[in-house]
C-alpha cells in the first residue's frame, strides 16, 4: 500500500500547510529513476528519456547550490529529480500540477519536470495579451525570436525556480525561520535574482525581468489578491495564476532592494531569523537572565 506523507511548500513559515501529498511506496522513491553520475554534492535522478534535460537543470542546481552555500554558510546535499509526467504522478500524487517545481524538506528533494505543460503557458497568456506592447516587443528582442517568445520566457522562469527551491533547501538547513510566508518566498525570489546577477548571464536576466514584468503589469487587473496581507492569509489558496503573480511582485521588489542592498539583504535575513537552538537560547538569555545556563543543565 502506498504510504501518504504530507509535505509543505513553506516549511520555514512555522505554519502547518497541507499542500501536497507524496505517495511513497515501500520499494523506495528513487526506484525506476536513473542517477546522473557526478561527484557534486547535488545528486540528480531523472526519468527515462530526460537525460539532456536533467543535465541542463543540474547545471543550474549545482551552481546555485555553491552560490547559496557560500551566502548561507551551509553544506547540504540536495537531490534534484527531473521527472516525466508518470513519475511525477507516482511520486507527488494526482493533485500537484505537472512541472510546477517544488521542494520537500523532509526528503531534501527538488522536483522538476520536462518541458513546461501547454496548459500552464496558457494560464499566463491572458496576462501576456493584456500587457503593454513595448514590453512584448522587448521580450521578443531579448529572446531573439518572435516565435514562442512568451513560452521561452515562461520556461526560463520555471527553469530558474530550481534556484528558488534550492534557496528553501539552504534556508531549511540553516534553520532560517522567517515566521511569515511572504518573507520566506520573497527571500527565495531574492536569492534567485541575486544568483542570476552574480552569474552575469544578461540574456537570462533580461528574459526573466521582462517576463515577470509582463505577468505583473498584464495580470494586475486580472488578479483578485495583490496585498501582502492577502498573501499571508491565503498563500497558495489565492489560486495558481494569482500565486505566480505574487512572485512577479516579489521579483520586482527583489530588483528594487538588490540595487540598494545587494547580497547584504540575504545576510541580514539569515542573521535575524536563524533559529538554531544556540541562537534561540542566546536571544532568550538576553531577556531572561540565566536562561542559557538553565537550558544547558536542563536540555
Count the site residues for Zn ion by CB under 5 A: 2
Q: Provide, rounded to whole angstroms, the least separation between the CB of residue 185 and Zn ion.
A: 5
Residues within window 22-51 making contact with Zn ion, judged by CB under 5 A: none
Q: How many helices (H) and strands (E) in the chain?
A: 13, 7
Q: Which is nearer to Zn ion, 50 or 188 (CB)?
A: 188
Q: CB within 8 A of 181, min separation 6: which ones?
A: 10, 13, 15, 231, 232, 235
Task: Return the residues of window 107-136 that contact Zn ion according to CB under 5 A.
Answer: none
> Rounded to the nearest whole angstrom, what is the least distance from the CB of residue 176 to Zn ion in the complex?
13
Residue 103 or 124: the one with the smaller Cβ distance to Zn ion is 103
Comparison of 105 and 130: residue with beta carbon closer to Zn ion: 105
Q: How far is the CB of 188 from Zn ion (least distance, A)?
A: 5
Q: Shortest approach of Zn ion to residue 164 CB, angstroms? A: 5
Sign for the CA dihedral angle at 56, 248, 118, 126 comes to: negative
Residues 186-245 that bind Zn ion (CB under 5 A): 188
- Judged by CB under 5 A, the chain residues 172 through 191 that form the site for Zn ion are 185, 188
Of 128 and 160, CB closest to Zn ion: 160
- The distance of closest approach from Cβ of residue 149 to Zn ion in the complex, given in angstroms and rounded to an integer, is 26
User: Of 151 and 185, which has the nearer Cβ to Zn ion?
Assistant: 185
Residue 166 interacts with Zn ion (CB under 5 A)? no
Comparing CA positions, the residue from 101, 98, 107, 276 lying closest to residue 192 is: 101
To the nearest 5 percent, what fractions of the chain are helix, strand and coil?
60, 10, 30
Closest residue to Zn ion using C-beta atoms: 188
Q: Which residues, 6+ apart, have CB-to-CB distance to 50 below 8 Å?
A: 82, 83, 84, 114
* The residue count for the chain: 299
**Ramachandran category for residue 47: left, alpha or beta (phi over 0 → left; psi -120 to 50 → alpha):** beta
Binding interface with Zn ion (CB under 5 A): 185, 188
Amino acid at each position: 500500500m502506498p504510504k501518504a506523507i504530507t509535505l509543505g511548500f513553506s516549511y520555514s513559515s512555522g505554519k502547518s500547510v497541507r499542500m501536497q501529498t507524496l505517495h511513497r511506496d515501500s520499494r523506495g522513491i528513487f526506484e525506476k529513476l536513473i542517477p546522473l553520475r557526478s561527484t557534486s554534492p547535488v545528486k540528480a535522478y531523472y526519468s527515462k528519456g530526460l537525460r539532456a534535460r536533467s543535465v541542463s537543470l543540474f547545471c543550474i542546481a549545482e551552481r546555485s547550490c555553491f552560490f547559496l552555500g557560500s551566502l548561507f554558510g551551509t553544506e547540504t546535499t540536495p537531490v534534484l529529480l527531473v521527472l516525466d509526467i508518470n513519475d511525477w504522478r507516482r511520486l507527488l500524487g494526482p493533485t500537484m500540477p505537472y512541472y510546477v517545481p517544488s521542494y520537500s524538506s523532509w526528503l531534501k528533494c527538488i522536483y522538476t519536470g520536462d518541458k513546461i505543460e501547454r496548459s500552464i503557458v496558457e494560464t499566463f497568456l491572458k496576462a501576456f495579451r493584456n500587457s503593454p506592447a513595448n514590453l512584448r516587443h522587448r521580450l521578443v528582442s531579448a529572446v531573439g525570436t518572435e516565435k514562442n517568445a512568451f513560452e521561452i520566457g515562461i520556461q526560463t522562469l520555471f527553469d530558474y525556480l530550481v534556484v528558488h527551491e534550492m534557496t528553501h533547501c539552504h534556508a531549511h538547513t540553516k534553520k532560517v525561520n522567517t515566521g511569515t510566508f511572504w518573507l520566506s518566498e520573497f527571500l527565495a525570489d531574492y536569492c534567485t535574482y541575486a544568483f542570476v546577477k552574480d552569474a552575469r548571464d544578461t540574456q537570462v536576466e533580461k528574459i526573466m525581468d521582462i517576463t515577470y514584468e509582463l505577468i505583473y503589469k498584464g495580470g494586475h487587473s486580472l488578479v483578485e489578491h495583490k496585498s501582502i496581507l492577502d498573501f499571508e492569509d491565503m498563500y497558495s489558496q489565492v489560486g495558481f495564476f494569482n500565486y505566480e503573480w505574487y512572485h512577479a511582485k516579489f521579483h520586482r521588489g527583489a530588483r528594487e532592494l538588490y540595487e540598494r542592498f545587494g547580497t547584504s539583504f540575504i545576510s541580514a535575513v539569515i542573521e535575524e531569523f536563524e533559529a538554531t537552538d544556540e541562537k534561540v537560547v542566546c536571544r532568550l538569555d538576553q531577556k531572561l537572565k540565566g536562561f542559557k545556563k538553565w537550558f544547558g543543565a536542563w536540555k
